[in-house]
Structure 1
Amino acid sequence: MRTNFDFTPYRRSTVGFDRLFDLLETEPRGDVAEGYPPFDIVKDGEDSYRVTLAIAGFRPEEIEVIAQQNQLSVTGKRAASDSKDAYLHKGIAMRDFERRFQLADFIEVGGASFEHGLLSIELKRVVPEAMKPRKIAIGSDHPVADRIEAPQDKAREAA
């Protein structure tokens, strides 16, 4: 169920969240509403996650996992079957699929495993050192420019 919500006040008072607002405002794609294949998203730890897809009937070579910037795509394409079986009931959905997941910034795909018809994909948030919070020491009353030496100043002193 989609509700229309106006994000304009939030867009005016935030910087750098354009991508998030765009995702919230766009209509969901057909493959998201379809629900195939079913999946779970689990938070394994502070910065680690696992996406598990139930893809019974597929072999590992029929599945493709692609990690791009801020997107994880899982595609399953069945090999052509020469089977002449006469099904009385076919309830196991083994149709081709493509499932996409939008990833937050700094989420990296660690690896994937396939066991008992479940594809598990490990995700981890890896924040660069420059983006991590750091404590800034408070110095004396001297201007900051006095405490920072430029490389050319050191070269002049050595000459």
Structure 2
Amino acid sequence: MSRFPGFSSPFLLGFDEIERVLDRVSKAANDGYPPYNIERIESPDGGREVLRITLAVAGFTRDQLDVTIEDSQLVIRGRQNDDDRTRQFLHRGIAARQFSRVFVLAEGIEVAGAELKDGLLAIDLGRPEPERVIRRIDIATTE
């Protein structure tokens, strides 16, 4: 694992998990397939803004895609089977390809839903309004 210089200080204790996340993100950023967009859109109900991740997954069916949350990470996998041996290609430019794309989620981010339409997989993320908690503290008197 490569070390990030900011975390090698002896005064920063307990930041190992952050360093592992940054290392994982930097490795995943080098893979360009499938291409994706991340945009901020207005919530349909007029509430807080929503983040939308859109992946170009042309050629994949809904059954060939898997969207999961694993250890505070949004993991999107695509698996295509190349079982059709009956076709004879003169040129094959569209390969049956597998992919795995990982996005690290901040605490409190929730997946609102996912939709596959016209070869684009859209995943909406939101952060719900935190409940406002008011707690009364009793004041003790000493005599």
State TM-score, norm by structure 2: 0.71
Per-residue CA deviation, residues 59-103 of structure 1 (Å, 9 max, x unaligned), is 11110100234110001001333452414351x454111111100
Q: In 2 relative to 1, CA 105–114 (structure 1 residues): closer, same or farther, beyond 3 Å?
A: same
State TM-score, norm by structure 1: 0.65
- 1:84 maps onto 2:87 in alignment: yes
1:146 deviates by: 3.7
- Paired with 1:71 and 1:94, the residues of 2 have a C-alpha distance of 26
Match of 2:21 in 1: 23
1:89-128 matched pairs, under 5 angstroms = 90=93, 92=94, 94-128=96-130
Are the counterparts in 2 of residues 53 and 118 from structure 1 also a CA contact under 8 Å? yes
Structure 2, gaps ≥5 residues long: 43-47
1:38 to 35, 40, 47: 35
Match of 2:45 in 1: none
Corresponding residue SS for 1:129:
coil
Between stretches 55-64 and 76-85, larger displacement belongs to: 76-85
- Paired with 1:87 and 1:109, the residues of 2 have a C-alpha distance of 43
- Paired with 1:126 and 1:48, the residues of 2 have a C-alpha distance of 10
- Give the fraction of aligned pairs with identical amino acids, expressed as a percent: 32
- Paired with 1:102 and 1:3, the residues of 2 have a C-alpha distance of 19
- Paired with 1:8 and 1:105, the residues of 2 have a C-alpha distance of 24
Between Structure 1 and Structure 2, how many residues are aligned? 134
- Paired with 1:24 and 1:145, the residues of 2 have a C-alpha distance of 45
The Cα RMSD (Å) is: 3.5
1:47 deviates by: 4.0
Q: In 2 relative to 1, CA 118–33 (structure 1 residues): closer, same or farther, beyond 3 Å?
A: same
Structure with max Cα Rg: 1
Are the counterparts in 2 of residues 56 and 94 from structure 1 also a CA contact under 8 Å? no
- Paired with 2:127 and 2:89, the residues of 1 have a C-alpha distance of 48
* Partner AA of 1:43 in structure 2: R
Between stretches 48-57 and 20-29, larger displacement belongs to: 20-29
Structure 1, gaps ≥5 residues long: 137-142, 148-159
Q: In 2 relative to 1, CA 101–93 (structure 1 residues): closer, same or farther, beyond 3 Å?
A: farther
Corresponding residue SS for 2:139:
helix
